[in-house]
Amino acid sequence: MTVSFTSNWKDLLEDLLQRGSCAGADLVEVFLERTDHLGLLAEQDRITSVNPAFTRGAGLRVFLNGRDGFVSTNDLSRDGLTRALDQALAMLGLESQALQHSEAFSGLQALNDYGLSKQDWLQRCPDLASASLRMLEGTDQLQRLGQHLQVRRGSYSRDWQEVMVAASDGTFARDIRLHQSTGLSVLAADGDHRSSVGRRYGSTDRPDDLANWNCQASAAEVCESAGTMLRADYVDAGQMPAVLANRFGGVIFHEACGHLLETTQIERGTTPFADSVGSLIAHPAVTAIDEGLSGGAFGSLSMDDEGMAPERTVLIKDGVLERFISDRAGELRTGHQRTGSGRRQSHAFAAASRMRNTYIDAGPHQPEELIASVDRGLYCKTMGGGSVGPTGQFNFAVEEGYLIENGNLTKPVKGATLIGDAKEVMPRISMCANDLELAAGFCGSVSGSIFVTVGQPHIKVDSITVGGR
C-alpha cells in the first residue's frame, strides 16, 4: 500500500477544524486511518482459515463544556468529512457556519511525522505463502514434540495501520504501526485425562518477527505444559498464599487493578480509588508502571491516538497511588493530566484512557525466595482466562499450577481459580522478585479491542481464595 496521509491533507483538515471552531466547539479532533490485516489459522496439518481485511475511514469528535459528540465515516472526501463533522456538532446542539476566522483555532502545527522511517514495514512482512509455511511448521513441531495430542493449532495475525491526527489545539501528527502475533495451542487427551494449553507471542514494529520466530522452542513450551497437566490432580479449594509467575501472570493486575486506574472509571464512578491519589492502596512492596516505550512490546507506540507522545507513568510507587491513566477527555472531565494513553481500536471508536505496557515492577528477591517462604500454598506458573467485575472483583483460571509444600514445589494441580477483589488483594502482595518479564495480550473496553502488554516479576500474595474441588 502506498502512503496515503501526507501534509497535503493539511488544508482540508484546517478547513474542518475552522468550521467546528466557528460553530462554537471548545475543541475539534479528526482521526484518519488506513489498515491492512491478515489472519491465518492452521489446524493439524492444514491452513483452515485465511482472513484478510482492509479499512479506510475517519473519526470526528467535538467537545463542548465537558461533553463530546463523535461520528465515524468511511467517506474521506471533503463532502463526506464535512457531513460527519456537522453531525457531531449537531449532537451538542451546534450548527456549522460559513467559514470565517475563529480565535479558537489558529492553524495546525508542522506535521510531526513518526512514520517516515516505517514506510517499508508492510512490504517487509511475510506474504501469505511464507506465513502459512511458518504456521504449518509450528503445528508440525507440536506433533513431533507432544504426546496424546488430539488437536494442534497455530495462528498468525498481522495488523498494519497508518493514522493521522489533527486537532484544533494545533496537534498534527502521523504514524505507521505494525503488530504481529503468533499462537500455538493443543488439546491433549488420554482416556479420561484432558489438558488444554495455549501460548501467544506478540510484538510491535518488528517486520521480521515471524521469520525469526523460534517455533520449536514455543512448541516445546506448549507440549511440556500440556504433558505435565494431563494427569495432574485437582486442587483443593481454600484460602491460601499463592506465588504467581512472571510474564502473563500480570494479567490479574491489568484486569483487576489497571482498569480501575483509567480516568474512564472515574467518569463512570466505578473505581474505588477515585480519591486515593497519595494514599496507600497496595503493599509497600508494589510499584506499578504503565508506559508506551519498551522496544518491541505489544503496547508500545510512537504516539497515542490523540497525537501525544507516550511516556512512562508510575501508577503506584511503594504502595502509594501516584497517577491515573488519562486521555484528552479524562483530563478535561477529571483534571488528571494526559499521559499519552488515548487509544482506540479503529476510527469507528472515540479514543479513551487505555493501558499500554502495564506491569508490576521488579523487586529485590530471587523467585526461589518467594516459594521458600510458603509452607503450603499454590504456585501459578501460567494463568488462563477469567472475568472481572466493574469495580475490581475477579476470578482467573490457573492453566498450569503446582502445590507448594514446606517451601518446595511438589505435584502439579489443575482446576484452580484465583478469586478476589483488587482493593483487598493489592495490600497482600508482600514480595516481588527480580525477574520482570512482559507478555502480549489484547484488551477490550469502551474504545474497542487494543494491543497491550501485561507483565510482572514473580509475586507472592499472602492470602487469596483458591477455587477448586
**Position 160, amino acid:** W
Q: What is the per-residue pLDDT for 62?
A: 98
Domains and CATH numbers, the chain: 7-230 (3.30.2290.10), 233-467 (no CATH)
The pLDDT tens digits of the residues spanning 116-152 come to: 999 999 999 999 999 999 999 999 999 999 999 999 9
Q: What is the pLDDT of residue 1?
A: 47
Q: Which of 87, 86, 68, 115 lies closest to 327, judged by CA? A: 68
Q: Tell whether the model's pLDDT for residue 2 goes beyond 60.
A: no
Question: Helix count (H) and strand count (E) of the chain?
Answer: 11, 23
Whole-angstrom Cα distance, residue 377 to residue 89?
Answer: 58
Whole-number pLDDT of residue 196:
95
Looking at residues 30-43, what average pLDDT do you find?
A: 98
- Whole-prediction pTM: 0.95
Helix (H) or strand (E) holding 422: helix 422-425
Of 368, 373, 380, 370, residue with least CA distance to 250: 380
Residues 6 or more apart in contact with residue 371 via CB below 8 angstroms: 243, 379, 404, 407, 408, 409
Whole-number pLDDT of residue 229: 96
- Mean pLDDT for the chain overall: 95
Closest CA to 168 of 250, 83, 104, 90: 104
β-bridge partners, 306 = none
Beta partners for 459? Answer: 244, 432
What is the chain's alpha carbon radius of gyration, rounded to the nearest angstrom?
A: 24
Q: Could you report the per-residue pLDDT of 328-381, keeping only the tens digit for each?
A: 999 999 999 999 999 999 999 999 999 999 999 999 999 999 999 999 999 999
> Residue ranges of the alpha helices (H) in 104-261?
121-124, 128-145, 209-212, 215-230, 251-252
Say yes or no to pLDDT of 323 above 50.
yes
Q: Which of 86-90, 124-128, 177-181, 384-388 has the lowest mean pLDDT?
A: 384-388
Segment 165-176 shows an average pLDDT of 98
How many whole angstroms separate alpha carbon 108 and alpha carbon 14? 7
pLDDT band for position 12 (cuts 50, 70, 90): very high
- The pLDDT confidence band at residue 424, using thresholds 50, 70 and 90, is very high
Q: Tell me the average pLDDT across 201-219.
A: 96
**pLDDT by residue (tens digit) across 257-281?**
999 999 999 999 999 999 999 999 9
C-alpha cell, 94 = 451546534
pLDDT above 70 as % of the chain: 98
Integer CA distances (angstroms), 296 to 66, 134, 181, 300, in order: 36, 21, 12, 7
Q: What is the pLDDT of residue 390?
A: 86
Residue 306 contacts residue 363 (beta carbons within 8 Å)? no
pLDDT value for 123: 95
Distance between CA 453 and CA 292 in Å, rounded? Answer: 9
Say whether pLDDT at 103 is over 80. Answer: no
Percentage of residues of the chain with pLDDT beyond 90: 94
Distance from first CA to last CA of the chain, Å, rounded? 55
In this prediction, residue 277 carries a pLDDT of: 98
